[in-house]
């Protein structure tokens, strides 16, 4: 078997990336989605998503800013936030972290919840 992946985030991660990593890594490891082969891709996902969340949580981003000669131009911070979101979505798809990927892999089924009617069906069948 391959090298074990730690459910603890790397030390160089910021608080948001650490939170994302430590929330998702155990489930990904459990379902075989996080391996030594996908580890760096997952690191990139956590960092990109944390960049997007930092942009949206810390500042209200205006869609335009004043440019030269008092003209208005598209806000570069908004573009950076959008790029981080788009990159994190692409990485999520590659890592199998989307609802479509869950269905394809048979993850996220309701079988984890007990079926309240199962006992009645067993009694009836007896």
- Residue 107 in this model has a pLDDT that exceeds 90: no
b/e per residue 95-116 (b: at least 16 CB within 10 A)? bbbeeebeeeeeeeeeeeeeee
Q: What is the DSSP string of 49-69?
A: HHHHHHHHHH-PPPSEEE-GG
pLDDT-derived band of residue 55, with 50, 70 and 90 as boundaries?
A: confident
pLDDT one-digit tens code per residue, 59-105: 666 666 676 677 777 778 788 889 999 999 999 999 999 888 878 87
pLDDT of residue 56: 82
Q: What span, in angstroms and rounded, lies between the C-alpha atoms of 77 and 59?
A: 10
pTM listed for this prediction: 0.72
pLDDT of residue 62: 66
Q: In this structure, what are the phi and psi dihedrals at residue 73, rounded to the nearest 5 degrees?
A: -140, 165
- Tell whether the torsion through CA atoms of 22, 98, 3 and 11 is positive or negative: negative
């Amino acid at each position: 078997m391959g090298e074990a992946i730690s459910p603890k985030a790397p030390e160089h991660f910021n608080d948001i990336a650490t939170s994302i990593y430590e929330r998702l890594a155990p489930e990904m490891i459990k379902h075989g989605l996080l391996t030594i082969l996908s580890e760096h891709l997952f690191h990139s996902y956590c960092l990109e998503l944390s960049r997007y969340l930092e942009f949206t949580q810390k500042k209200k981003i205006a869609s335009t800013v004043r440019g030269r000669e008092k003209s208005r131009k598209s806000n570069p911070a908004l573009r950076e936030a959008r790029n981080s979101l788009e990159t994190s979505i692409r990485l999520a798809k590659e890592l199998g972290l989307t609802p479509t990927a869950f269905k394809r892999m048979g993850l996220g089924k309701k079988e984890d919840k007990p079926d309240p009617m199962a006992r009645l069906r067993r009694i009836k069948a007896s």
